[in-house]
């Protein structure tokens, strides 16, 4: 479950960054490998913040690792953070946005993802998304 305001007794174990990579009003969704947690679901490029990294460095690294895009941090727009509470742990989820000029240059990391699609935010809501991705799409796009 996600929260806009930090809930009482929230104890984040880590931070995660995510990014709506957008081209011509469609967002890039990655299809998770079956062996990954919440396998065979769709989500945006995302990942945990490593020790010594700031969230912009992490977002650049994750986008590069998961899509092949090398983005300048100045083009990343920081939207907001939400607080995610799962039964076993809590984490802070940072949401970024970036517009890309070319959608043909996506190269996925096959160790993590098995496919990708460009879809409208509304169409994304009809897909089998990773937990709470729908709420983040609705929050960012005002759907």
Q: Where are the domains of the chain?
A: 2-141
pTM flag (> 0.85): yes
Q: Does domain 2-141 have CATH number 3.90.79.10?
A: yes
Q: Give residue for tokens 């000029």.
A: 101
Q: What is the DSSP string of 40-61?
A: T-EE-SEEEPPTT--HHHHHHH
Question: What value does the mean pLDDT of the chain take?
Answer: 94
- Compute the distance between CA of residue 27 and CA of residue 19 in angstroms, rounded to an integer: 9
Candidates 96, 104, 31; CA nearest to 68 is 104
pLDDT grade, residue 23 (50/70/90)? very high
78: β partners = 96
pLDDT band at 30 (very low <50, low <70, confident <90, very high): very high
Averaged over 138-143, what is the pLDDT?
94
- Tell whether the model's pLDDT for residue 37 goes beyond 90: no
Q: Which residues, 6+ apart, have CB-to-CB distance to 142 below 8 Å?
A: none
């Amino acid at each position: 479950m996600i929260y806009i305001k930090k809930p009482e007794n929230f104890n984040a174990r880590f931070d995660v960054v995510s990014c709506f990579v957008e081209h011509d009003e469609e967002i890039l969704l990655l299809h998770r490998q079956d062996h990954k947690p919440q396998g065979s679901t769709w989500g945006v490029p995302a990942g945990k913040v490593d020790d010594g990294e700031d969230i912009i460095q992490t977002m650049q690294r994750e986008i590069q690792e998961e899509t092949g895009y090398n983005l300048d941090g100045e083009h990343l727009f920081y939207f907001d953070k939400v607080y995610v509470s799962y039964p076993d742990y809590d984490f802070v989820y940072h949401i970024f946005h970036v517009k890309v000029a070319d959608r043909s240059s996506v190269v996925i990391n096959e160790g993590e993802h098995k496919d990708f699609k460009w879809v409208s935010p509304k169409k994304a809501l009809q897909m089998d998304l990773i937990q709470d991705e729908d709420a983040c799409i609705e929050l960012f796009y005002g759907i």
